[in-house]
Amino acid sequence: MSKKTTSTSVAARGDGRDVIRAAARNLPSRPGVYRMIDSRGTVLYVGKAKNLKKRVNSYLNMTSHSNRIARMVLTTADLEIITTHTEVEALLLEANLIKQLKPVCNVLLRDDKSFPYIHLTHGKWARLTKHRGARSKDGDFFGPFASAGAVNHTLNTLQRAFMLRSCSDSVFRSRSRPCLLHQIKRCTAPCVEGHISHSDYNALVEESRQFLSGRSQKIQRRLSDSMQTASAEMEFEKAAVYRDRIKALTQIQAHQEVNFSGLNEADVIAAHRDGGQTCIQVFFFRSGQNWGNRAYYPRHDAQQEMGEVLAAFIGQFYDNKPPPRLVLLSDRPHEQALIEEALSLKADRKVKLLVPQRGDKRAVVDHALTNAREALERRLSESASQLRLLEDLADAFDLDAPPQRIEVYDNSHISGTNATGAMIVAGPEGLMKNAYRKFNIKDKNLTPGDDYGMMREVLTRRFSRLLKEDQDRTNNMWPDLVLIDGGAGQLSAVLEVFADLGVDDVAIAAIAKGPDRNAGRERFFLPGKAPVSLEPRSPVFYFLQRLRDESHRFAIGTHRAKRAKSTRRSRLDDIPGVGARRKRALLHHFGAASSVERAGLADLEAVEGISKVVAKTIYDHFHEGT
């Protein structure tokens, strides 16, 4: 895309309409993407146009715009454009920029995490495993699955049906006897010679590929014939193996919450709106099977039509994933033909968007609509309960208003080692996991285990960055309440940080366990007040406990990950010029890093791939100063 586009920035002083008017004079009558930017450099809106000049000029007619668009026009201080060859390219680029820049006035797809796939590698002994991320590895990918649970269930069943290896290549090469998976009949043990021939293993690989490609009935008939043949020849153990494989394949097909005949490869996208919010349910059908569903709650203006919301959702949803051949929709999106053309270009094959009116396809859309309605009802109910909790919290802590953003901080370490800080965030919609943050404690002068010092470092770094990036507090990044895990000491440390930074309008509270660290007898410390306790059975008390426990979980998980990484680190990693290949050669030759450290210069030079210069570098690294 970048090779086919040109970018231009046009800025002017004065009213937003003056900026747009000045920009429009020099705009080409070509397809492209435009970005409206305010005086602080924040991207307000990203849009695409078949004719940039006409589209941008249309913003000057203020009477035809909604209040949202009118406010956006008036606050525009800069306009950037990128021209493209076609409107389809503009549509694809628009979706990519919206996801990347997250403009405040666009429909935004939130929580768009990557989907898991099943990966079947190529090579002599193929491996069947779960994969998430870019599909750049060699092999075949089957998916997407809606969740890790859905792909894990399918993988477990495929192991019983085809018994392909799932171990890493390094483990596979080092095995001298079959592992536990072979004993429980989930692997044919190709790692050990004599357990299965290469041709027989390849036959299982091909069967699994056919099954994941949708040809399951053909495979089941073949297995059934093999079972009957083995039984007729009195090979009952062999027949039992075929029977178990058939049962496993049947389990995959039977374990479907909803399945419809005739849907071999399709996504079903249904949207339901209520209370100013929209829930979009996406069901995945691949290889004739339902591979799960996921709910999305895109951010949009309440006045926007459903077709506009769906069009923006589809563009962003398929920005980082291949679309199927058929997408069934509950409502007709704006510019449906253009979206079809863009998705077909992206997939390099025909992609069709369909809004069915009757028959089986309409039935599956109605089912998705029911799920969308029920999910939105649950979300609205939970939001109402959450709002009541925040109102009660404001009363308990004497806050000016219910907090819209609560940040909870905690630290984790073992005797001061691998010290980390963690921040979790909660608001009216519950936990905001995409806003969680990890902090590696960097101050080398801290006394090991100094919780107060660690808290000071974490809060200093967090709020110094806020003052730099959002000083006028327009980007909703500032908390209304900071909750600290600890007592009066931690509270004093935070107050010192706020005093140094000049932060005086953020509420602070510390939560400490009661006598003998008993949960249920927590005390709350507030600036300038005596410690208070809440009714142990009150919803606010349980809410604060959950926040504290979530911060514990996140902090401990962060610490454990850092500790695990440090334990995997070798003393050879710090030697300049010694990469993975040379490190492997040294370990294969000497057996352990400690033996490399004790080795003489002549011994190091004897290692394959280690030159005299590198050997001298290694020797000096371990013997410098001795």
Q: What is the pLDDT of residues 26-60, one digit of tens each?
A: 888 889 999 999 888 888 999 999 999 999 989 98
Average pLDDT over the chain, rounded to whole?
82
Confidence at residue 256, expressed as pLDDT on a 0 to 100 scale: 45
SS3 state at 359: helix
Give tens-digit pLDDT for 168-227.
Answer: 888 888 888 888 888 888 888 899 888 888 888 988 888 888 777 766 566 667 777 777
Structure tokens at 363: 């039935």
Is the separation of the CB atoms in 80 and 37 below 8 Å?
Answer: yes
The confidence score (pLDDT) of residue 11 equals 45
Query: What is the structure's pLDDT at 4?
Result: 46
Query: Which distant-in-sequence residues (6+ apart) come within 8 Å of 522 by Cβ?
Result: 511, 512, 513, 514, 533, 534, 541, 544, 545, 548
In the chain, % of residues over pLDDT 70: 87
pLDDT of 332 reads 94
Q: Using only the alpha carbons of the chain, give its radius of gyration.
A: 30
Banded model confidence at residue 261, pLDDT cuts 50, 70, 90 = low
Q: Are 555 and 412 in contact (CB under 8 A)?
A: yes
Q: Which of 290-304, 316-330, 564-578 has the lowest mean pLDDT?
A: 564-578
| Rounded CA separation 308/317 (Å) | 14
β pairing state of 265-274 and 326-329: parallel
pLDDT in tens, 503-522: 888 999 999 876 555 556 78
Residue type for 148, please?
A
379, 277 contact by CB (below 8 A): yes
Percent of the chain at pLDDT > 90 equals 15
Grade residue 600 by pLDDT with cuts at 50, 70 and 90: confident
Question: To 5 degrees, how large is the angle CA 343–CA 347–CA 352?
Answer: 50
pLDDT band, very low/low/confident/very high, at 355 (cuts 50, 70, 90) = very high
Mean pLDDT comparison of 406-420, 451-465, 513-527, 557-571, highest-scoring range: 451-465
Q: Return the pLDDT at 311.
A: 93
According to the model, what pLDDT value does residue 280 have?
93
What are the residues whose beta carbons fall under 8 Å from the beta carbon of 105, sequence distance 6 or more? 36, 44, 45, 68, 69, 72, 301
The pLDDT, as a whole number, for residue 1 is 42
pTM: 0.61
Give the model's confidence band at 12: pLDDT under 50 very low, under 70 low, under 90 confident, else very high. Answer: very low
Which domains occur in the chain, in start order?
Answer: 2-101 (3.40.1440.10), 116-254 (no CATH), 265-376 (3.30.420.340), 406-553 (3.30.420.340), 571-623 (1.10.150.20)
Residue 285 has pLDDT above 50, yes or no: yes
